[in-house]
Amino acid sequence: KAGVTQTPRYLIKTRGQQVTLSCSPISGHRSVSWYQQTPGQGLQFLFEYFSETQRNKGNFPGRFSGRQFSNSRSEMNVSTLELGDSALYLCASSVSVVDMNTEAFFGQGTRLTVV
């Protein structure tokens, strides 16, 4: 069974540009969540999608957006990049809501560097 696939693994962008990251969840998983990991702020929740609907959103500016397709694949987009957006972006997939019976499986992440 294939795991969570994130592409690309590494990305370098210039301030002001926009970027799109992709996540393919485990087959059969309908929930996809995105997290930002930085040395200063740690792991922070961005948003969660289930069956193409955003169910939950973290405390990030509107420059961060996402979507989910009918095949459960998800993309996140960051517009007008800032230096502070440099981070490891992690995608997690789960069958449904993460609780004691449902766990989240993470991809290897996309390392975004903004210069």
Partner 1 sequence: AQSVTQLGSHVSVSEGALVLLRCNYSSSVPPYLFWYVQYPNQGLQLLLKYTSAATLVKGINGFEAEFKNSETSFHLTKPSAHMSDAAEYFCAVSAGGKLIFGQGTELSVKP
Binding of partner 1 at residue 8 (CB under 8 A)? no
Cα-Cα-Cα-Cα dihedral sign, residues 115, 18, 22, 29: positive
Query: Residue 26 gets which letter from DSSP?
Result: P
CB of 80 to partner 1, least distance (A): 25
Contact 107, 6 (CB under 8 A): yes
CB of 54 to partner 1, least distance (A): 11
What is the rounded CA–CA span in Å between residue 35 and residue 23?
12
With CB under 8 A as the contact rule, which of the stretches 12-20, 30-38, 59-67, 74-82 interacts with partner 1? Answer: 30-38
Footprint on this chain of partner 1 (rule: CB under 8 A): 4, 6, 31, 33, 35, 42-43, 45, 48, 55-56, 58, 90, 92, 97-101, 103-109, 111
